[in-house]
């Protein structure tokens, strides 16, 4: 359908109706111990954190879903020189969830003991890491993982 001539108010409503799960919903879910994402009604893929389209097929036909919070450690980095307001060392990790999406979080582990052997280890979300700094625009949370 052509966008030309559509009522701007209707267009805005249409766009807002596509945000079935916002970043705020995602963070509120984490605060309640839930990892929320979107399941595609067309291809079945899970998108997490939430985005406006399915990360596999681009569909907007999405519904909220809860992920297990379990996954595999794909990569990590140990931050030794922290940005203002953070205490080093700490570990930022990228985990591939059992449902597919890769998500960023913190890893609760001894930073001194991190090595290549950690890659592929099973991880699960144990809680949240709250942060609020001058770069982030308010209070946010990200998942805190632990080796499971
Ligand atoms: Zn899809």
43-73 tens-digit pLDDT = 999 999 999 999 999 999 999 999 999 999 9
Ranges of each domain in the chain: 8-67, 70-147
Q: Which residues contact 25 (CB under 8 A, 6 or more apart)?
A: 36, 50, 64
Average pLDDT, stretch 86-111? Answer: 96
Distance of CA 147 from the midpoint of ligand 1 (Å): 30
Tell me the CA–centroid distance for residue 61 and ligand 1, in Å.
8
Q: Is the peptide bond prior to 86 cis by the omega test (within 30 degrees of 0)?
A: no
Using one digit for the tens of pLDDT, what is the confidence trace for 6-33? 888 888 887 777 778 999 999 999 999 9
> Would you state the structure tokens that stand for residue 141, as one six-digit string?
């949370």
Fold of the CATH domain 70-147: OB fold (Dihydrolipoamide Acetyltransferase, E2P) (2.40.50)
Q: Poorest-confidence range of 9-18, 33-42, 81-90, 120-129?
A: 9-18
Question: For residue 58, how far is its CA from the centre of ligand 1 (angstroms)?
Answer: 6
Q: pTM of the full predicted structure? A: 0.86
Q: How many angstroms separate the alpha carbon of residue 125 from the centre of ligand 1?
A: 25
Task: Output the CA 5–ligand 1 centroid distance in Å.
Answer: 29
CA 39–ligand 1 middle distance (angstroms): 8
**Cα separation values, 43 from 66, 117, 128, 135, Å:** 17, 34, 30, 36
Q: List the alpha helices (DSSP H) in the chain.
A: 8-17, 23-31
What is the token pair recorded at 124? 């699960």
Task: Note the pLDDT of residue 119.
Answer: 97
- 65 in Cβ contact with 79 (< 8 Å): no
Rounded-to-integer distance, Cα 107 and Cα 71, Å = 12
CA–CA distance from 58 to each of 53, 55, 100 (Å)? 5, 6, 16
């Amino acid at each position: 359908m052509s966008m030309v001539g559509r009522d701007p108010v209707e267009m805005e409503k249409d766009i807002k109706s596509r945000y079935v799960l916002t970043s705020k919903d995602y963070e509120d879910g984490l605060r309640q111990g839930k990892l929320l994402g979107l399941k595609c009604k067309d291809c079945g893929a899970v998108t997490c954190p939430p985005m406006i389209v399915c990360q596999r097929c681009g569909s907007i036909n999405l519904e909220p879903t809860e992920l297990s919070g379990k996954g595999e450690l794909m990569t990590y980095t140990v931050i030794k020189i922290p940005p203002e307001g953070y205490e080093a060392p700490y570990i930022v990790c990228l985990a591939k969830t059992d449902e597919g999406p890769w998500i960023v979080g913190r890893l609760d582990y001894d930073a001194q003991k991190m090595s290549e052997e950690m890659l592929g280890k099973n991880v699960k979300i144990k809680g949240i890491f709250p942060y609020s700094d001058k770069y982030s625009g308010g209070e946010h949370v990200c998942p805190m993982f632990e080796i499971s």
